[in-house]
Amino acid sequence: MLLKSLDHVFWLGRYLERLDDTARLINATSHVLIDSHQDTQFGWPILLEVLGQDSAALLQKFQQGDTPLTLAETERAVMACLINAPDSPVSIRATCAALKQNARTLRPLIPRDMWEELNALDLFLQQHCSTAVSRQQRYQLMAEVSRRCQMVVGVLDGTMLRGDAFDVFNIGRHLERADMTTRIMDVLVLQQLQPTQIKRPKFRWLSVLNALGGMESYQYYLAHQKGDVDAIDYLLTYADFPRSISYCLNRVAASAKTLPHAGAILAQLQQVQALLKPQALSELSTVQLHSLIDELQAGIIGLHQQILEPCLQPVAVVQLSA
Amino acid sequence: MGQSFSGYPQLPDCFDELVSPAGTARAPATAIARFIERHGTTELLRRQQQLDQTIRSMGVCFTLYSEGQNIDRAWPLDVMPRTIPLSEWRRTSAGLMQRLQALNLFIDDLYHDQRILRAGIVPAELVLQSRNFLAPCRGVSPPFGVWSHICGTDLVRDGQGQFLVLEDNLRVPSGVSYMLENRTVMKRVFPELFADSTIVPVDDYPHQLWKMLASLSPRPGDVPCIVLLTPGIYNSAYFEHSYLAQQMGIELVENTDLQVDADGVYLRTLNGLQRVDVIYRRVDDIFLDPTVFRPDSVLGVPGLFQAWAKGQVAIANAPGSGVADDKVIYAYVPQIIEYYLGEKPLIDNVPTYLCSDEQQRAYVLANLDQLVVKPANESGGYGILIGPRATDAERALMAEAIAKDPRNFVAQPTLQLSTAPTLCDGVLEPRHLDLRPFVLQGRDLYCSTGGLSRVALRRGSLVVNSSQGGGSKDTWIINDEV
């Protein structure tokens, strides 16, 4: 694989996962948020915070003069930012454009079937995500985006050559997923808890699990675990659940082990995995849990840099004979 | 047979590819004629829609530059194929291979002994003063003495249906990916027409291209490392670059992926540097190496030219091959073929008058209203006078320019390009078209099965370029020998 392709393949994986995760996030939280108009803490802007955006600054652009946005206007503005606004960096439309751009650069590595599936996804979004989407259409649309992302992954899994590119793509997907899971936990769960609490409360906010497609397996987890566990243990440490942090990190490790710079990646990875010792988790206060999530996020950023590190090596300067 | 083309408004002076002057289907078009007879043009229209959808989902596109923006346009393909009998194609492809073989002997001679110039067959000043003659290439001996490995020859038919060569594209000809994708699309849209298997397949080309490139490797015996060098994703032919790289299973690289040291050219991979043996370059000569050609080139690889000249790496097409791709040299190709091969050309040129020759110039000046006059050293259609469509004032200006610098002009009769039935607003109408086959030469010679048929979609137009309202057709070589 070309050295420069490392960066493109990695981002191809991240963007594809981000597209899927954004669609899931919108659907899973919509039902809760529609009912939560009395609760100022659980407003629509929180979805922008999950994606690392300054919601106040973004939403100001939608405001006419000093009049604050109504609840319905806020919902429309947030959804525009998440789905179709051309200048929103986190919109599904922008993510898909970035995905397509990476795929274009990588065309020779991408099997024809996957290329066609990516095109179909892009055409679908151009057709359905270019204008405002009503609440009624939204659920169907997001479910379809998610489904089409899964089709791309499925086709790729069935046709792509097992080599460095395939491994790096999977590392990108799972790192993005781990990143999204920590963000969701951080914003949707932890920021809503009082930081003064000595011991964290048992938290069973099911919409988070819905966003991650993990409702049923959570019930299974609860039924089969000894001790007092909750959604936080599940999302962080349950390695059989494909959206838990543990699972994602294991997959990154498995995919990284044959890369030329596996040593540095795996060393970094072990430090992140060490944060997830299950015994310690149940004793954490909310504040400590918060800082654990911060450490995980910093670890994910460190991994990201470690994976792309070879791209940063300077080109060897060669003296040419005249 | 042939009923389906009744009412087809054939053009009187043009050869039609599918329809005989009597209005019946020509033999190779029988199957498509029968299809139209059975299903009608409404079904054709339905298939055209299905075809357009297929092209979008396959992502077959070309890039237009407009207002500083890159726009991917869906590739235009007409649902009606163009048919050619295999027996005729055999003769034509033999002529194309003959031509490329002679042109390569010519280029190699020009950069070595220049026998043909000393023999007075081609005037020496035409070659030596041409900006396409690259002095640094003198004395370089690429493998097999071949310089132009991939040639896209533009063919047209005259009013009698005779194939003529309009242009030799010996530098970085493009379009072959569309030839291949057109066929993929048509097979999905007309599975029933491919079922009787008299349509000769085209999909051998990428393998033949790979084989040709591999034959150039300076390390025979080892698995060659072949790369395709592209100017990048913003180039208008990027689709083709990435497509061909994928079809051949080779790396698609930009200049920053390559580096040169005293031993040769290397590829920067995740696993370190890898030796490169053959570069299929889609970057123009003058941008290849800033230390030899344009110093401001941002697409080039410093040192690449020297590595090639030393034989450390093969480049296809070789730098300097454009010297034989020139409108004045073109007029001498029949003599070039005779000189090197001792054979008569199997495909004729379009008659070409050289204004440098006194008699021919007199003829050109007397017949400006019937001729097309082209400057010898321009490309992209600049400075061309189409006599029958020009004003008196324009013709007078051209006469003056010819008198001032006769060597810089050639003239050709205005051609009645052949036509083929094309679906326009749901109706079959004749549209003009040309054909670009692709010819390969390395250790062996190869000619594509048919080529890319480009069609002028506007009524009466002769402009086939996709950037200017041109479309394409799948070219069916029909086996008439079974």
Percent of chain A exceeding pLDDT 90 equals 45
CATH number at residue B289: 3.40.50.11290
Which of B56, B245, B272 is the closest to A123 by Cβ? B56
In-domain check, residue A240: yes
A186–chain B Cβ distance below 8 A for any pair: no
Q: pLDDT band at B288, cuts 50/70/90?
A: very high
Q: Nearest C-alpha of chain A: how many angstroms from B387?
A: 44
Considering the domain architecture, whether residues B398 and B437 belong to the same structural domain is answered as no
What value does the mean pLDDT take over residues A280-295? Answer: 80
Q: Which of B413, B435, B459 is the last residue of a domain?
A: B413
Q: What is the span of the domain harbouring residue B362? A: 351-413
What value does the mean pLDDT take over residues B54-77? Answer: 80
What value does the mean pLDDT take over residues B136-165? Answer: 96
pLDDT in tens, A121-179: 998 988 888 777 788 888 889 999 999 999 999 999 999 999 999 999 999 999 999 99
pLDDT in tens, B449-479: 999 999 999 888 877 877 777 899 999 999 9
Q: pLDDT band at B1, cuts 50/70/90?
A: very low
Nearest CA in chain A to B265: A318
Considering the domain architecture, whether residues A118 and A5 belong to the same structural domain is answered as yes
Q: What is the span of the domain harbouring residue A184? A: 174-310
Q: What are the beta bridge partners of residue B436?
A: B452
Residue type, A167: D
Query: How many CB atoms within 10 Å of residue A220?
Result: 14
Nearest CA in chain A to B271: A260
Structure confidence at residue A204 (pLDDT): 45
Considering the domain architecture, whether residues A231 and A145 belong to the same structural domain is answered as no
The answer, yes or no, to whether residue A201 has pLDDT greater than 60, is no
Q: Which of A129, A160, A191 is the last residue of a domain?
A: A160
| A58-72, A253-267, B14-28, B405-419: segment of lowest average pLDDT | A58-72
Considering the domain architecture, whether residues B292 and B431 belong to the same structural domain is answered as no
Considering the domain architecture, whether residues B385 and B240 belong to the same structural domain is answered as no
Who contacts A309 (Cβ-Cβ below 8 Å, separation ≥6)? A261, A264
Residue type, B373: V
Structure confidence at residue A35 (pLDDT): 60
Q: Nearest C-alpha of chain B: how many angstroms from A176?
A: 22
Burial class (CB in 10 A: 0-12, 13-18, 19+), A148: buried
Question: How far is residue B214's CA from residue B227's CA, in Å, rounded to a whole number?
Answer: 11
Q: Which of residues 337-396 of B touch A (CB under 8 A)?
A: none
In-domain check, residue A316: no
Percent of chain A exceeding pLDDT 70 equals 86
Burial class (CB in 10 A: 0-12, 13-18, 19+), B424: middle
Which of B246, B270, B291 is the closest to A320 by Cβ? B291
In-domain check, residue A320: no
What value does the mean pLDDT take over residues A251-276? Answer: 95
| A154-163, A285-294, B187-196: segment of lowest average pLDDT | A285-294
Q: Where are the beta strands (DSSP E) in B231-346?
A: 251-253, 258-261, 264-269, 272-276, 278-281, 314-316
| A48-52, A195-199, B34-38, B224-228: segment of lowest average pLDDT | A195-199
Considering the domain architecture, whether residues A188 and A54 belong to the same structural domain is answered as no
Chain A neighbors of B250, CB-CB under 8 A:
108
A104–chain B Cβ distance below 8 A for any pair: yes
Tokens 């659980």 locate to A42
CB contact under 8 A, A260 and B261: no
DSSP B351: P
Percent of chain B exceeding pLDDT 70 equals 96
CB contact under 8 A, A1 and B261: no
In-domain check, residue B199: no
Do residues A187 and A50 make contact, with C-beta atoms less than 8 angstroms apart? yes
The answer, yes or no, to whether residue A26 has pLDDT greater than 90, is no
- CA dist B74 to A279, B52, B173, Å? 58, 8, 21
Considering the domain architecture, whether residues A20 and A125 belong to the same structural domain is answered as yes
Q: pLDDT band at B49, cuts 50/70/90?
A: very high
DSSP B77: B
In-domain check, residue B276: yes
Instruction: List the alpha helices (DSSP H) in B12-85.
Output: 30-58
Structure confidence at residue B379 (pLDDT): 59
In-domain check, residue B181: no
Question: How far is residue B9's CA from residue A318's CA, in Å, rounded to a whole number?
Answer: 66
Residue type, B20: S
Average pLDDT, chain B: 92
Structure confidence at residue A285 (pLDDT): 77
Chain B neighbors of A108, CB-CB under 8 A:
242, 245-246, 250-252
Chain B neighbors of A110, CB-CB under 8 A:
246
Structure confidence at residue B245 (pLDDT): 96
Considering the domain architecture, whether residues A23 and A124 belong to the same structural domain is answered as yes
More confident site: B239 or A41: B239
Structure confidence at residue B450 (pLDDT): 95
Q: Which of A160, A192, A209 is the last residue of a domain?
A: A160
Q: pLDDT band at B332, cuts 50/70/90?
A: very high
A162–chain B Cβ distance below 8 A for any pair: no
Q: Which of A93, A127, A160 is the last residue of a domain?
A: A160
Question: How far is residue B320's CA from residue B170's CA, in Å, rounded to a whole number?
Answer: 10
A124–chain B Cβ distance below 8 A for any pair: no
The answer, yes or no, to whether residue B134 has pLDDT greater than 80, is yes
Considering the domain architecture, whether residues A179 and A146 belong to the same structural domain is answered as no
Considering the domain architecture, whether residues B282 and B430 belong to the same structural domain is answered as no
- Mutation target for A interface from B253, B269, B273, B274: give the one with most A CBs within 10 A: B269
Residue type, B343: E
Considering the domain architecture, whether residues A182 and A247 belong to the same structural domain is answered as yes
pLDDT in tens, B207-238: 999 999 999 999 988 899 999 999 998 888 99
Considering the domain architecture, whether residues A136 and A230 belong to the same structural domain is answered as no
Considering the domain architecture, whether residues A113 and A182 belong to the same structural domain is answered as no
pLDDT in tens, A297-322: 999 999 999 999 998 876 554 444 43
Considering the domain architecture, whether residues B248 and B326 belong to the same structural domain is answered as yes
Q: Are strands B150-157 and B438-441 parallel, antiparallel or unpaired?
A: antiparallel
- CA dist B324 to B107, B329, B458, Å? 7, 6, 32
Question: How far is residue B323's CA from residue A5's CA, in Å, rounded to a whole number?
Answer: 36
Structure confidence at residue A207 (pLDDT): 67
Structure confidence at residue A224 (pLDDT): 85
| A199-203, B159-163, B222-226, B285-289: segment of lowest average pLDDT | A199-203
Structure confidence at residue A317 (pLDDT): 47
Tokens of B325: 């791709």
Structure confidence at residue A67 (pLDDT): 85
Considering the domain architecture, whether residues B262 and B134 belong to the same structural domain is answered as yes
